[in-house]
């Protein structure tokens, strides 16, 4: 594991899941800083050699790139309750959840760079990260990561463990059939799943007001007889508290919960997105959750200049090590393009 996580609060003697200690608060901040360091490095590497002009298929990191800057509180707050025995299924914007869940940063970066040392040996790319060690996966098709998460939860339940699955979508995906089918089946079979909706206000260019009939997707949980909770302010500790309740419920065998977090897409839907459609662009930087949380922790006396510098330097070193590893790794052999279609490496 690359990111130390707090023990599940449900297991902490004397404390409810909402209780948050100083160490956990700093850990949440550390996770967010690491994620941001990674996304900034991807931004840099992605755009470094796309020119002249902008050619999406050019460069060391080709293809679409969906970065999660601004959405760190969701991943940090949820994954703080998980161990790598638990499953996480993220979206096409997966890096923050992958990192917060403890994925190997070198192998994830190598996959994004399309290298043989990557998680998928360069066959997957940034929207298709699969890590059996941390039970992490993601999907480029919105809402369609939910059903496989049910299956992971089903397997955990059948084996009599208290392991759980966390399934993430965006608010636009909550209008897909797979979302509703999954909530129904998970509630029906009391599967240990925590459903997370990241409401970043935008389904690519379409505002949620133009896509979604309810003010809160958390309200939709009522239709499936499960708890639904909306966290309004992209605050990591509020996410942490809500997730603590949902995770404890799932581990106890009481079934699924739904949490929607009103978060923030700091950058475009994908890199290269000029965001001409976006009306809130002026005040977006002011809503960045990381400086906000940093202030909170400074005021609480948990962080000072030195601690912040050290955390940032450590995150940067960790990320640059992964980027260097990726760049130094070989590209997959074109002669092996057909390998791994089937198990055992056959085509």
In the complex, the residues that contact other proteins under the rule CB under 8 A are 87, 118-125, 128, 130-132, 135, 137, 139-141, 144, 146-156, 158, 165, 177-178, 181-182, 184-185, 188, 339-345
Q: How far is the CB of 112 from other proteins (least distance, A)?
A: 13
User: In angstroms, rounded to a whole number, what is the distance separating the alpha carbons of residues 182 and 246?
Assistant: 16
Q: Between 48 and 341, whose beta carbon lies closer to other proteins?
A: 341
Q: Alpha-carbon distance 217 to 211, whole Å? A: 12
Which residue, 69 or 197, is less far from other proteins as judged by CB? 197
Cβ distance 36 to 290 under 8 Å? yes
Q: Among residues 133 and 324, whose Cβ is nearest to other proteins? A: 133
| Closer Cβ to other proteins, 185 or 284, answer by number | 185
Whether the CB-CB separation of 1 and 18 falls below 8 Å is answered with no
Least distance to other proteins from the beta carbon of 174, Å?
15
Instruction: Report the nearest approach of other proteins to the CB of residue 38 (Å).
Output: 21
Nearer to other proteins, 70 or 120 (CB): 120
Question: Bridge partners of 87?
Answer: 165
Can you give 126-174 as a three-state secondary structure string?
CCCCCECCCCEEECCCCCCCHHHHHHHHHHHHHCCCCCCEEEEEECHHH
Return d(Cα 66, Cα 277) in angstroms, integer: 17
If 0-12 CB within 10 Å is exposed, 13-18 middle and 19+ buried, where does residue 335 land?
exposed
Q: How far is the CB of 315 from other proteins (least distance, A)?
A: 27
User: Nearer Cβ to other proteins, position 50 or 115?
Assistant: 115
Buried b (16+ CB within 10 A) or exposed e, 59-91: bbbbebbbbbbbbbbbbbbbbbbbbbebbbbbb
Supply the minimum distance, in Å, between the C-beta of residue 142 and other proteins.
10
Nearer to other proteins (CB atom), residue 31 or residue 134: 134
- Shortest spacing between CB 177 and other proteins, in angstroms: 6
DSSP 277-308: T-SSGGGTGGG-HHHHHHHHHHHTTS--HHHH
> What is the closest distance, in whole angstroms, from the C-beta atom of residue 126 to other proteins in the complex?
11
Strand 202-203, strand 228-231: pairing: unpaired
Structure tokens belonging to residue 280: 């809130």
Question: Rounded to the nearest whole angstrom, what is the least distance from the CB of residue 215 to other proteins in the complex?
Answer: 26
Q: At what angle do helices 22-48 and 72-79 cross, to 10 degrees?
A: 140
Instruction: Report the residue number, 7 or 151, with the smaller CB distance to other proteins.
Output: 151
């Amino acid at each position: 594991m690359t990111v130390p996580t707090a023990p599940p609060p449900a297991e902490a003697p004397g404390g409810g899941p909402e209780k948050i200690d100083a160490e956990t608060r700093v850990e949440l901040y550390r996770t967010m800083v690491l994620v941001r360091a990674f996304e900034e490095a991807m931004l840099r590497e992605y755009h470094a050699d796309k020119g002249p002009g902008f050619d999406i298929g050019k460069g060391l990191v080709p293809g679409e790139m969906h970065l999660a800057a601004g959405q760190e509180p969701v991943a940090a707050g949820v994954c703080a309750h998980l161990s790598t025995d638990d499953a996480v299924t993220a979206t096409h914007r997966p890096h923050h959840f992958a990192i917060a869940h403890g994925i190997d940063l070198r192998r994830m970066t190598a996959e994004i760079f399309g290298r043989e040392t990557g998680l998928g040996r360069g066959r997957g790319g940034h929207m298709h990260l699969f890590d059996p060690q941390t039970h992490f996966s993601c999907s480029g098709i919105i809402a369609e990561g939910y059903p496989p998460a049910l299956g992971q939860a089903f397997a955990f339940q059948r084996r009599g463990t208290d392991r759980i699955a966390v399934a993430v979508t965006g608010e636009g995906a909550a209008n897909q059939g797979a979302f509703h089918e999954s909530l129904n089946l998970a509630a029906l079979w009391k599967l240990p799943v925590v459903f997370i909706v990241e409401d970043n206000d935008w389904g690519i260019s379409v505002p949620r007001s133009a896509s979604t009939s309810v003010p809160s997707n958390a309200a939709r949980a009522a239709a499936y007889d499960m708890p639904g909770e909306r966290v309004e302010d992209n605050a990591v500790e509020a996410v942490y508290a809500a997730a603590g309740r949902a995770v404890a419920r799932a581990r106890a065998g009481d079934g699924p919960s739904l949490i929607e977090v009103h978060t923030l897409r700091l950058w475009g839907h994908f890199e290269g997105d000029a965001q001409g459609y976006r009306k809130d662009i002026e005040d977006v930087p002011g809503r960045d959750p990381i400086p906000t949380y940093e202030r909170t922790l400074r005021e609480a006396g948990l962080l000072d200049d030195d601690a912040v510098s050290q955390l940032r330097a450590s995150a940067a070193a960790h990320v640059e090590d992964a980027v260097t590893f990726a760049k130094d790794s070989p590209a997959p052999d074109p002669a092996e393009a057909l390998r791994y279609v089937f198990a055992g490496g056959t085509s």
